[in-house]
Amino acid sequence: MLRALTHKVSPKIAECELTFVQRSKIDYDLAACQHDDYEAALTRLGVAVKSLSENATFPDSCFVEDTAIVVDELAVICSMGVSSRRGETLESWNLLATRLHRCSLKEACTSSLPAPQ
């Protein structure tokens, strides 16, 4: 059975990190409704959805896919590129610890990667 980790939209989503677009108003209620629809679509497709909510203080926490890469029984816990997101990985680490082998990308690794061409 396919499994998906999701994370509820943070009430602080309007403070999220932006890199490529200008800041505009984010409608929290609309974002939360869209995210609920996303979880419902996954469930309709037969995916077992585990919805997390422990990281509500992190504005970007609904992007839980950024915190870990999971392949078979290995989880690679990522180092978040911006300091405001680094605390998000602890929840993924703890949750995945019960099921998978884990390794962590340390902050030093991110600075040594070559820039994309």
Distance (Å, whole) CA 11 – CA 15: 9
> DSSP code of 14?
G
Confidence of residue 113 (pLDDT cuts 50, 70, 90): very low
Residue labelled with tokens 């993924």: 92
Domain ranges of the chain: 3-108
- Which residues partner with 70 through β-bridges? 75
The reported pTM is 0.70
3-state secondary structure of 36: helix
pLDDT score, position 36: 95
Say what the alpha-carbon torsion angle 102, 107, 108, 113 is, to the nearest 10 degrees: 90
Given a contact cutoff of 8 angstroms between Cβ atoms, the answer to whether 96 and 77 are in contact is yes
For 71-83, what is each residue's pLDDT tens digit? 777 778 777 777 7
| pLDDT computed for residue 104 by the predictor | 62
Regarding the domain with residue range 3-108, which homologous superfamily does it belong to in the CATH classification?
Answer: L-arginine/glycine Amidinotransferase; Chain A (3.75.10.10)
Spatial CA neighbour of 51 closest among 43, 109, 70, 59: 43
Rounded to 5°, angle at Cα 83 from 81 and 89: 75
For residue 115, what are the CA distances in angstroms to 1, 83, 110? 37, 19, 10
